[in-house]
Structure 1
Amino acid sequence: MWEADVVGATTWATGRACRAADCLQWSEEGILAVVTAGAIHIVTPLVGYARDDAGDAAQASHARAPWSVTSIDAKRELARMPPVPELADEEIAAATTPSILGEAWHAAAWSPAGVGPLHTCALATINARRQLSVYVCQRDARTGPYVSVDEPSGQWADARTGVAHTLATHYSAVRWSPASPRRHAWLAAGTRGGDIVLWDAYEQPLRVVATMRVPQAVYALSWSPWLPDGTVRLAVHAAGHMHVFSLRDDLAWEQLGTCAIGLVQVTDVHWADGPVLHWSTPSALVSWGGEAAQPESVPLDVGAHAAGSDARGTLRDDGRMYARDGAQIAALPVEQAVWGYARDPSGLVATLTSADETASWRYMISHRLTLTLWLPHDRPLPDASLPPIVAWRAWAYAWERQADTSALWAPLEARLAKLQAHVAALGQRTSLAEWRAAHREAQCLAWGARAAPASATRLDGARELCAWLGLAVRAAAWDAAMPAAYTQRLARALEQGAPEGAACLEHLGARVTVPHATDAGDVCPACDARMPPELAATARCPAGHLFDRCVVTYAVIDGVRTWTCVGCARQAYVPACEAVSKWMPAMAGCLACGNRWRS
């Protein structure tokens, strides 16, 4: 049975879902893209976020929807693009006309975190004209707007002519690769001409770095996670075949295998269980290990399509969920077709179902869709690999719906004790990556310390541990490029830090040895008086003028160019942040709580 609580539901009349199993996608930041023909709805669950500019608490409540929504309208976006010229050649027109009719979205996909501004995610889209665009949010990802910043051209296909050139520049599938350990990622797009084009995700504008070719039109793409051998695999569904390619960080690639699957409807192409590829047909679940192996099929009752998968199994359009061995393990309480199913790492499950009128006396096909957020009772506990806001969301939902919360705090206490022991040994290390990993874990635990009851006394040290680990990360990132004013402020902060922090920091080496700081090196922007050395969240000069301090550099904020953390609402002063080393870890998120900035 399906055991879950409903967090919220809403209905849209923006056309049919674009692709079964691809119409719902969670980003790494816990933001959901709902891809319909008429609009892409970007949904952000609000649990864990700080108060917004209007002063409303951005927390889930029974009084209003537990999310914020912003949309990218297809008609508006296509209206700003140049019109498609009429084709004089009848052969070319016959090959392309079906793909350029209407104003609608065809596909969309989230990038890894870090591709968009302020280390956010970008959204790649394909419209009905088969044009590729990349959208980012320059301000607050919850409220938008999302604007197009890049429309990759088909210059790589300029040598082709006629129908071949047209089909080579008509995109049919899009997917971003996961970021590699060396921070490489690619945007892959397939075309109706059988081309797979790769762009460097971290370059603006996007630059083509590789192309591959398969004999048939590309229907779907799917990237695997990075494997222990330093490779990532790309599955390509092209007409009646499935192809698998292997790529390395240096873009050395090879084709591992091809299998004929026939002209059957294929949905939900995804990787699981390591380098094993899975997909669904109307009558079977199929698994393929690639290379010389043959696909293995598990027969099912005939259906229409798969709506999506998670670690448990695959959900079909009728609401039944099947394990990999074909056993039915759950059934959603739905009466109409399920088009999308996606599970966020925090435990939230999103489903997209048809919402057409079914009463015989008022029957009509309206292509209305209902989005429902569920909280299954078997949700996983969050870990340090999640962004803090996603981990906070998981704990908030669990805390809200569990009468006896004692079971929630025991895992947090165990993780805190493990982290404290790890940090004691970490004092002998100088690796910035190790310090940042420990700091990230502390940031995920800090929310639990604030929400825990008085009986959870073992969590009392989580916030203090998080604070001085932030100082340790700053010190580990220290280099000769740091301005003198910043090093003076950091020296003062280290002096005010916890004794445990000082004991660990003294092992970081001579390169982070700080001089004695007598002041913070600041003057009052209003009257030029010397500012006191205390590095609190705010600073007050002797004349009484009060200013906020930057959470990253401790500089007095004297201007309007600021970033605001979506989690704790602390501010960073952009000119001060730009003056410090580019390796400063706070450029990717708030050093106080680890969440993303918004401008």
Structure 2
Amino acid sequence: MSQLPIYTALSVPTVITHPSVRCLQWSEDGQLCLVTKSSVHILTPDPGINFNTPADIKTPIGDEHSDRPLGWYRTMIETTRGQTHSWPSIYQGWASLSLGSLDVSVRAVACSPSGLTSRGRCVIAVLNSNMEVSLWAAGKNHLKGEWSNIQDVTGDILDLPAVGQDFNEASRTLGNQVMSIAWSCQPHFGIYPAPLVDASILAVGTRAGSVKLFRFQNGADSEGRVSLIHEVKISEEWITHLAWSPWFTLSEGKCESLLAYATGDGGVGLVRISQTHQSASVSGFVPTYTLDVISGQKAEAIFAPDKRAIPALDWVAVPERNPILVYSKPGIIYLWSSSSSPVHWHGDRVLPIRAQGLSIGTSAFSSVSGFSYVKQSDLLLVALFDGSLHVIHNISTEPSWTPTASDDHLTSEALSQTFRAFFAEATSAGVEYMDVNRTSGLVSYDSHSTLTWIYESLRPSDFSYKHEARHECMLLAAPFWPLDDATILRAAQETLVQFHCATRSAPLHRLRPLLLHLCNTGHFAKLCPHLLEVLNQIPQDDSTAVVVPAWSQGLGAELQLQLRRSFATHLFGWDGLLSLRMRLSIADMCWRLCKDPELRVGCGQVAQNQLAGISYRILRILVRHLTAIVTALAPSDVPFVLRIVVQSQLAGSPLDLSCEAEALSNKVNAAIEIDPMIAGLHELCPACHIEVPLQDITQATCPNGHSWARCSVTSFILSTSMVRTCIGCSRKALLPVSQSSDAEDEAWLPVAARSWIVKELLEAVQRCLFCGNSFVAIV
């Protein structure tokens, strides 16, 4: 036990109303959401985050193996304790009674995929005990700043016109009372570049036995809102749980997912939801698409109702086979899978839980509070409310509680003892048999051996009452067994290959496991040389496949919209470019951690190669877009265009890129009379007003020694507070005009940057062009 550190032991003074497999969950922005009675705590681990503000929390115990203790940035969503909608005022029947309205609390949370808001981040749906759903989004700073309520979803549902059986007042009211929520991931339709169209679906289960499907849409004057796109009638019972399987790509432009549900009478079933991505128009720079949602004609029953409650329902994504549905009833774990191949099982599996006897509160009938699938060992970890861990081995081939020879050390008994030992180590007063570590939620940190869980210590035999202010939970993150270097390296290789940019997950989220293990002193020295070899494998250059048709309709609102959409699609819709960004993030982390001077030079060289590859791809994309719209350029656009030409012809640039830039320059010279005084290549120093030549695209230094950072998107000097900072690499960029304090006043922009092309580019770039992570605005 002395060899296993606790990376985080954070005391959280709060009440958690019930155990749940979604009490702790990761968003695709790489943030950990903790659901408590009155709020949602949002915690972001600091490995990979590099900007001036330090992490709020660093509370390791016995962690002598890490160069950098695991820190966390913290903020929260504070929901109102009052009810927004009074159901008795809508319908006076007993069926609409809401006991949760007496003391309104948070019941569940669903995180959207990343990239939905105007700042390119997640939205969080919150369900409270009064059966109301609201949407929340972060403002300037999603790590430490405020999250605001952007939509009252229940209010919008109530405003929908009645159709069909909804004319019955009781049915309509029950159909508006929400019991469960789940948000699907983004499907991959097999289209490149990946269209930046939100194809995720928010599913809402109601008291009327129906499931409503919602789609998020960006708003011109708001962060966006969801709107109803489909409704499926499933049962006459309450829909208490919902879970989306991963999307399957059936053919180019068509995907399918299985939406599993549980009903109040103990039944389990699923509905097949398919989406078709159809091209609506190909007249612009990139095609526009429409999405059609089709549900199965009827629900497919998996487990017949038996009046036993279902506390947990979730899908386990297992490589190279169909996903496995895991659900529980008191004392039993059930598995179900559709047929995938002759070597894999299908149908049902029933596994009775065995009590571990760790404390006075141990019971096989405790609720399930978390699942964690370990691909390397093909096992599923199951956490119970009583503070025990149970291991299902060979889940993809022949599930059982019995370990194989290769993982005989990963037994339920051994891991439960480790679980208990962590509890004892984090408890300063000591632990006895009478003490129970009541675990409300558990989630994997690295998809391997490191878990994150939250528990509350108590003595049930005391029968003592604690008021809310005295409740205190503990959030722990710790490894349950050591990983060898080969496993970490193999996981890194898979991370850099097995992904699709269509899912829009932030690089920090994808790289979280690797960044944690790189900070381990024992691993880093051996891993770094092998990791550099992996990072040096440059992916194919997707930018050579970018085709931008020439525009001949002149400057107008349609061109501006088309250019913004095309910029966003090509800059963030190619897998190769995303792979380079992740490789650069890893190389930068290695350079920061490396203490060997010679090896550090190697890390810097690899990072420089990745940076050059990213820059050339971005420049080629910009050059081809500017070439396509050369007939719509105005004199005010010339400074930015010439900057792109000069950067594309710097020493070391690929020959084909330099030739394309030269051709663009010739077309601009032929179309527009250029005034050398406003060419924009030489800016004035904001301090002394002396010319600053464009010699370095990251830093500007005038002859008097004044130094200024340059915008990472446009390369203009940054001399304004209207900037945003990348959380991954700390590069800065000008704010989009729509996010400035006064969208009508553009005086803060550099004079040479007051071009409509620059404005559309800034709007299109919601994430860092070099590392792919989110921006935050500090001021």
TM range (shorter): 0.7 to 0.9
One of 400, 404, 422 as aligned partner of 1:326: 400
Cα deviation 1:145-183 (Å, max 9, x = unaligned): 111001122134634243212211111111111012254
2:33 corresponding residue in structure 1: 33
Cα distance between partner residues in 1 of 2:695 and 2:59: 38
Deviates further, 523-532 or 216-225: 523-532
One of 318, 331, 342 as aligned partner of 1:283: 331
1:177 aligns with 2:329: no
1:227 aligns with 2:248: yes
- CA drift of 1:104 comes to 0.8
- CA drift of 1:430 comes to 4.2
2:52 corresponding residue in structure 1: 52
Quick check: 1:524–1:530 contact (8 Å CA) kept in 2? yes
1:270 aligns with 2:317: no
Q: Does the C-alpha gap of structure 1 residues 199 and 363 become closer, same or farther in structure 2, counting only changes over 3 Å?
A: closer
- CA drift of 1:342 comes to 0.6
2:383 corresponding residue in structure 1: 316
- CA drift of 1:435 comes to 4.1
Cα distance between partner residues in 2 of 1:469 and 1:195: 50
One of 67, 73, 77 as aligned partner of 1:72: 77
Q: Give, as a single letter, the amino acid of the residue that structure 2 aligns with 1:33.
A: C
Cα distance between partner residues in 2 of 1:538 and 1:280: 58
Of all paired residues, the percent bearing the same amino acid is 17
1:163 aligns with 2:190: no
Alignment of 1:127-138 (within 5 A): 127-138=128-139
- CA drift of 1:554 comes to 0.6
Cα distance between partner residues in 2 of 1:443 and 1:584: 22
Q: Give, as a single letter, the amino acid of the residue that structure 1 aligns with 2:209.
A: G
Q: Does the C-alpha gap of structure 1 residues 573 and 365 become closer, same or farther in structure 2, counting only changes over 3 Å?
A: closer
SS of 1:488's equivalent in the other structure is helix
SS of 1:139's equivalent in the other structure is coil
SS of 2:104's equivalent in the other structure is coil
1:217 aligns with 2:223: no
Cα deviation 1:539-579 (Å, max 9, x = unaligned): 24557665431111112224332211112222101246984
- CA drift of 1:389 comes to 3.0
1:405 aligns with 2:524: yes
Cα distance between partner residues in 2 of 1:222 and 1:361: 36
One of 195, 200, 203 as aligned partner of 1:188: 203
1:350 aligns with 2:350: no
Deviates further, 129-138 or 271-280: 271-280
Quick check: 2:88–2:96 contact (8 Å CA) kept in 1? no
One of 242, 253, 258 as aligned partner of 2:268: 242
Cα deviation 1:166-223 (Å, max 9, x = unaligned): 2111111111110122541111111111121112124423221111111121111111
Cα deviation 1:398-433 (Å, max 9, x = unaligned): 2443335333214412312322xx44x768654851
Cα deviation 1:430-486 (Å, max 9, x = unaligned): 485154234224323322441333353654422112221222232343214584333
Q: Give, as a single letter, the amino acid of the residue that structure 1 aligns with 2:294.
A: A
Q: Does the C-alpha gap of structure 1 residues 300 and 439 become closer, same or farther in structure 2, counting only changes over 3 Å?
A: same
SS of 1:535's equivalent in the other structure is coil
RMSD: 3.5
2:654 corresponding residue in structure 1: 502
Cα distance between partner residues in 1 of 2:713 and 2:523: 38
Q: Does the C-alpha gap of structure 1 residues 45 and 460 become closer, same or farther in structure 2, counting only changes over 3 Å?
A: closer
Quick check: 1:258–1:291 contact (8 Å CA) kept in 2? no
Quick check: 1:134–1:149 contact (8 Å CA) kept in 2? yes
**Which structure: larger Rg?**
2
Deviates further, 199-208 or 108-117: 199-208
Q: Give, as a single letter, the amino acid of the residue that structure 1 aligns with 2:451.
A: V
Alignment of 1:429-508 (within 5 A): 429-430=545-546, 432=570, 433-450=574-591, 451-452=593-594, 453-456=596-599, 458-478=602-622, 479-480=625-626, 483-496=637-650, 499=652, 501-503=653-655, 505=657
Q: Does the C-alpha gap of structure 1 residues 132 and 522 become closer, same or farther in structure 2, counting only changes over 3 Å?
A: farther
- CA drift of 1:362 comes to 6.6
Quick check: 1:550–1:572 contact (8 Å CA) kept in 2? yes
2:301 corresponding residue in structure 1: 258
Quick check: 1:172–1:191 contact (8 Å CA) kept in 2? yes
Quick check: 1:46–1:59 contact (8 Å CA) kept in 2? no
Please report the TM-score for the alignment, with normalisation by the length of structure 2. Answer: 0.68
Quick check: 1:243–1:257 contact (8 Å CA) kept in 2? yes
Quick check: 1:38–1:105 contact (8 Å CA) kept in 2? yes
Q: Does the C-alpha gap of structure 1 residues 263 and 116 become closer, same or farther in structure 2, counting only changes over 3 Å?
A: farther
Count of residue correspondences: 586
Q: Give, as a single letter, the amino acid of the residue that structure 1 aligns with 2:86.
A: V
Quick check: 1:126–1:174 contact (8 Å CA) kept in 2? yes
1:298 aligns with 2:351: yes
Q: Give, as a single letter, the amino acid of the residue that structure 1 aligns with 2:175.
A: A
One of 477, 481, 498 as aligned partner of 1:373: 477
Q: Does the C-alpha gap of structure 1 residues 512 and 350 become closer, same or farther in structure 2, counting only changes over 3 Å?
A: farther
Cα deviation 1:310-336 (Å, max 9, x = unaligned): 223132313222213232443222442
SS of 2:587's equivalent in the other structure is helix
Deviates further, 183-192 or 331-340: 331-340
Cα distance between partner residues in 2 of 1:52 and 1:174: 37
SS of 2:185's equivalent in the other structure is coil
Quick check: 1:445–1:462 contact (8 Å CA) kept in 2? no
Deviates further, 392-401 or 510-519: 510-519
Quick check: 1:137–1:144 contact (8 Å CA) kept in 2? yes
SS of 1:477's equivalent in the other structure is helix
Cα deviation 1:69-92 (Å, max 9, x = unaligned): 222234xx245x646275496524
Cα deviation 1:97-125 (Å, max 9, x = unaligned): 32322121111111111123421111100
2:214 corresponding residue in structure 1: 199
2:429 corresponding residue in structure 1: none
Q: Does the C-alpha gap of structure 1 residues 228 and 308 become closer, same or farther in structure 2, counting only changes over 3 Å?
A: same
Q: Does the C-alpha gap of structure 1 residues 305 and 281 become closer, same or farther in structure 2, counting only changes over 3 Å?
A: same
Quick check: 2:216–2:225 contact (8 Å CA) kept in 1? no
Cα distance between partner residues in 2 of 1:353 and 1:209: 39
Cα distance between partner residues in 2 of 1:157 and 1:11: 47
Cα distance between partner residues in 2 of 1:136 and 1:88: 29
1:515 corresponding residue in structure 2: 665
Deviates further, 161-170 or 119-128: 161-170
Q: Give, as a single letter, the amino acid of the residue that structure 2 aligns with 1:521.
A: L
SS of 2:521's equivalent in the other structure is coil
1:14 corresponding residue in structure 2: 14
Cα distance between partner residues in 1 of 2:3 and 2:662: 53
Please report the TM-score for the alignment, with normalisation by the length of structure 1. Answer: 0.86
Q: Give, as a single letter, the amino acid of the residue that structure 1 aligns with 2:605.
A: G
Cα deviation 1:366-411 (Å, max 9, x = unaligned): 6542211224434854423463434665445324433353332144
SS of 1:471's equivalent in the other structure is helix
Deviates further, 399-408 or 202-211: 399-408
Quick check: 1:20–1:306 contact (8 Å CA) kept in 2? yes
SS of 2:44's equivalent in the other structure is strand
Q: Does the C-alpha gap of structure 1 residues 275 and 156 become closer, same or farther in structure 2, counting only changes over 3 Å?
A: farther
Q: Does the C-alpha gap of structure 1 residues 85 and 288 become closer, same or farther in structure 2, counting only changes over 3 Å?
A: closer
Q: Does the C-alpha gap of structure 1 residues 144 and 537 become closer, same or farther in structure 2, counting only changes over 3 Å?
A: same
Quick check: 2:111–2:183 contact (8 Å CA) kept in 1? yes
Deviates further, 193-202 or 363-372: 363-372
Cα distance between partner residues in 2 of 1:578 and 1:305: 57
